[in-house]
Amino acid sequence: MAKPPTRAPARPAKPPRLRWDKKPARKPRPDAAPSKGALERKDGEERIAKLLARAGVASRREIERMIADGRITLNGEKVETPATLLKSLHGVAVDGKAVGQPAPTQLYLFHKPEGCLTAERDFSGRKTIYDVLPKDLPRLMPIGRLDLNTEGLLLLTNDGEFKRQMELPSTGIERTYRARCFGDVTQEQLEELIHGIEIDGVRYGQIDANLERRTGRNGWIEMTLTEGKNREVRRVLEHLGLEVSRLIRTRYGPFILGDMAPGTVGEVRRVDLIAFRKTLN
């Protein structure tokens, strides 16, 4: 099996600033009424769903499902709405177990191997990332997903709010992939992707694509995008008539895969994480 060309990874001393599309802030209408079910917020109060996500219990969406299922209680009473306002998680329990206060945000780089799911469990018995990850890690959630046959850089965090921020399309964080393909394509065709493309009614935003090298009808293509829609890279390349035999994510924002071996994990230094989060504000 052909291997991708090795390149010395750049290791900046400080994460670079990211680019994103700035959208004008939407001004509220002066005659707009408060949203239905809105609660009056006092100083220091946050929605319970946001506090639990920050504490690493689960993503905000999953927490909303847990509340609907009656799994979350406050002082022994079931929480009825994710909009419940609290100053802390004191008295909050999930499945009868008290929830601790949020730990400092942590971020890990993980080289996801091919052939495992980005999921907590799979009812058909397929291997997941949690079967590969070291058992001594804290409870971590993946930021975004890589499908079963895609390998490479997967970010993991203990902070559900940070996870949500990183995944939002409006944040505009760049992801870079390298794909080994079979078929015929020109650099000119790839450069047209910078304008975006529509496939089967789905609109994909701009993609910076370059043909790295070619041997016969086999080649490596590097693609950088910001949306990260489901199977976006594969669908775009297949639309161009190419067969993708290997797909590797090499970068997510300023964080790079480098020479990490499949299945290995590395923690981002707190100083670097703080510097990166400042670029998101």
36/39 Cα distance (integer angstroms): 9
Helix (H, G, I), strand (E, B), or coil: what is residue 111? strand
- What's the burial of 257, exposed, middle or buried (CB within 10 Å: 0-12/13-18/19+)? buried
Instruction: Give φ, ψ of 275 to 5 degrees.
Output: -65, -40
Pull the structure tokens for residue 36.
């239905």
Report yes or no: 86 and 45 within 8 Å, Cβ to Cβ.
Answer: yes
What sign for the dihedral angle of Cα 225, 226, 230, 236? negative
Q: What does 162-173 look like in DSSP terms, one character per residue?
A: HHHHHH-GGG--
Helix (H, G, I), strand (E, B), or coil: what is residue 176? strand
The answer to whether residue 200 is catalytic is: no
163/167 Cα distance (integer angstroms): 6
Catalytic residue among 21, 122, 131, 147: 147
| Cα end-to-end span (Å), the chain | 43
Residue with tokens 């949020």: 102
97/245 Cα distance (integer angstroms): 45
Report yes or no: 264 and 111 within 8 Å, Cβ to Cβ.
Answer: yes
Q: Hey, which residues are catalytic here?
A: 147
